[in-house]
Amino acid sequence: ALSIAIVADTPTAVAGAQVWLKVRLKNDGADVRGLVVTVSLPERVELVSDSPKPECDYDPALRKLTWRLKELKGGESCEFAFSVLLSRDLAPKERLGFIATAEYEGALVKLASEPATIEVVSAALSAIFVFPSSFVVKRSIGLPLLDVKYEEYQKVVDRLQGLGVVHGYPEHTFRPNRYVTRAEATKMLVLTTNLTEHMDSVRIGYVLSAEATVNIYVLDSQGKRVAHLLKDKRCKPMQYYVSWDGKADDGAWVEPGEYEIQVVAVSEGGGQITLSANVRALPLPHRKLAGIPTFVDISPKDWFAGYVAEAQARRLVYGYPDGSFKPKHNLTRAEAAAMIVRALGIEERVKEVKDTPTPFEDDEEIPKWARGYIVVATTEAPKASGKPIIGYVERRFKPRHFLSRAEAAMIMARFLDRDVERKVVVVGAVAPGVKLNINGKVVGDEKGTFAEELELKPGVNIITVMVQ
């Protein structure tokens, strides 16, 4: 009257997948004593360490799990569970069989279960790749600044506020139409250039070889889900991208630390595969600046003194012939062009083009000292999504016009997003039997994971991915 069964949590699995199995015993007769339950693992399957529940004896030479139970009373049942990892070398349509046996004191024969069979199926998810492998995470800003209109400016100001580049006034306003002063613009530029080594989001790419339902999760270092980036999306076989900027499902920014990007795909046949990669969220790199500039009209007690000193040390700003900086004067578009060219590190070109005419209708209004900067800023400086860092309208540059705080914020955002050559580390994983080629290089170790440094060229598609 003792019965035994073994079941797998899924009838199909991809090579390399982890599968749970359960052994169930039910006693409909008299009490039995000295119960011994065994399961022998098939070849090309490995027991997941510490997975058996309750604990059991495992003989790696015989590949056999053994549980011992002193007594199982009539009318009672019990259950044992364990997890196995399928070999990555298994081919689609191969079958793996698991049989559980039980014997006890006084039994004339050993009981055996019906086999639990797992069929290996093709992976719908071929590969995932995430870049860069680290990014700066924004800080929580509380209430958004209330007076910023137009969606484009709102997104820019919110982003820069989270990155610590801009700050509002005590009443939660930004005053976007107010002119930006030379001191304010200097602070913005110093803080923006602090961020040039890091992006503030990651791109998650995944490649499907068959139609599947896809979910993308972000887990923290404790395995807790903090974000659900893609929910039950039915996708055709092709390459896809999703971005994550560090925002959790509750709307808050995650804390700096390690996070796992997990892509789960379920094919029409029920085969499920999960591939993951780890990324690091970094804290903002800003530090307190306590330097003292040499300009005669700036006191060490001025709130902007440290920023101006840092900008002066980096040769981002210069003063006037009389030794002043005029920090409270409004910044002109010509002065902004000069600051951006210096921040880009291409000021040496200014002297070479200082006499070059511009195509602007107000060319004659450009100050002599600013001509080279404006030529370089509008013709040679890198762009952001095809747009110049310092924009202009209707063939007029308006060099003597003052910049508004909203315009200054837009310039800083485009500076961050400029299309330049940079090195990034791409991390990811490939499914068993899949070869992934990124920018001409086959990636992936014996476990199917990779971390590769790539050089991204300006004006070229981010990365080229080929799956075989």
Same fold, 2-121 and 123-318+408-468: yes
Q: Where are the domains of the chain?
A: 2-121, 123-318+408-468, 332-401
425-435 pLDDT, tens digit per residue, is 999 998 887 88
Give the pLDDT band (50/70/90) at residue 88.
confident
CA distance 200 to 132: 10
In contact, 450 and 442? CB cutoff 8 Å: no
Average pLDDT value over all residues in the chain: 91
Q: Which residue has the tokens 């899924």?
A: 10
At residue 461, does pLDDT exceed 60? no
Give the pLDDT band (50/70/90) at residue 271.
confident
CA distance 399 to 363: 9
Length of the chain in terms of residues written: 468
186-201 pLDDT, tens digit per residue, is 999 999 999 988 899 9
Q: Tokens for 405?
A: 């705080």
At residue 180, does pLDDT exceed 80? yes
197-217 pLDDT, tens digit per residue, is 889 999 999 999 889 999 999
Say how many C-beta atoms besides its own lie within 10 A of residue 53's C-beta.
Answer: 14
Beta strands in 156-224 (DSSP E): 202-208, 212-219
CA distance 400 to 186: 18
CA distance 119 to 121: 6
In contact, 48 and 4? CB cutoff 8 Å: no
At residue 93, does pLDDT exceed 90? no
401-424 pLDDT, tens digit per residue, is 999 999 999 999 999 998 888 888
23-67 pLDDT, tens digit per residue, is 999 999 999 999 999 999 999 999 999 999 999 999 999 999 999
pLDDT recorded at residue 273 = 87
At residue 144, does pLDDT exceed 80? no
Percent of the chain clearing pLDDT 90 (strictly above): 72
At residue 315, does pLDDT exceed 90? yes
pLDDT average, residue stretch 145-155: 84
Mean pLDDT comparison of 14-18, 33-37, 170-174, highest-scoring range? 33-37
Question: What is the model's pTM?
Answer: 0.76
C-alpha dist (Å) from residue 94 to 44, 112, 121, 431, 446: 11, 23, 8, 17, 21
Say how many C-beta atoms besides its own lie within 10 A of residue 9's C-beta.
Answer: 14
pLDDT recorded at residue 114 = 96
pLDDT recorded at residue 22 = 97
pLDDT average, residue stretch 235-242: 93
pLDDT recorded at residue 324 = 97
pLDDT recorded at residue 459 = 61
How deeply is 347 buried, as exposed, middle or buried, from its count of CB atoms within 10 A (0-12, 13-18, 19+)? Answer: middle
Q: Tokens for 437?
A: 């080629």
Sorted by sequence, the CB contacts under 8 Å of residue 379 that are 6+ apart come out as none
CATH of 2-121, one of 2.40.110.10, 3.10.20.90, 3.40.50.300, 2.60.40.740: 2.60.40.740
Which of left, alpha, beta for 444 (phi over 0: left; psi -120 to 50: alpha)? left
At residue 443, does pLDDT exceed 90? no
In contact, 217 and 227? CB cutoff 8 Å: yes
CA distance 10 to 20: 8
pLDDT recorded at residue 423 = 86
Strand partners, 46: 85
357-401 pLDDT, tens digit per residue, is 998 999 999 999 999 999 999 999 988 888 888 888 778 999 999
Q: Of all helices (H) and strands (E), which one includes residue 278?
A: strand 272-282
pLDDT recorded at residue 240 = 94
428-453: burial string, b at 16+ Cβ within 10 Å, e else: bbbbbbbebebbeeebbeeebbbebe
Q: Tokens for 303?
A: 């709130």
pLDDT recorded at residue 462 = 59
C-alpha dist (Å) from residue 36 to 128, 156, 422: 44, 67, 62
Q: Tokens for 429?
A: 């994983």
Give the pLDDT band (50/70/90) at residue 160.
very high
Which strands make up the sheet holding 449-456, listed edge to edge? 239-244, 202-208, 125-131, 422-430, 449-456
Asked, as a colleague might, if the bond just before 132 is cis with ω within 30 of 0, I would say: yes
In contact, 428 and 128? CB cutoff 8 Å: yes
Sorted by sequence, the CB contacts under 8 Å of residue 274 that are 6+ apart come out as 17, 125, 262, 263, 264, 265
More confident residue, 144 or 169: 169
Class of domain 123-318+408-468: mainly beta
At residue 337, does pLDDT exceed 80? yes
More confident residue, 185 or 11: 185
C-alpha dist (Å) from residue 19 to 8, 59, 86, 269: 7, 20, 8, 16
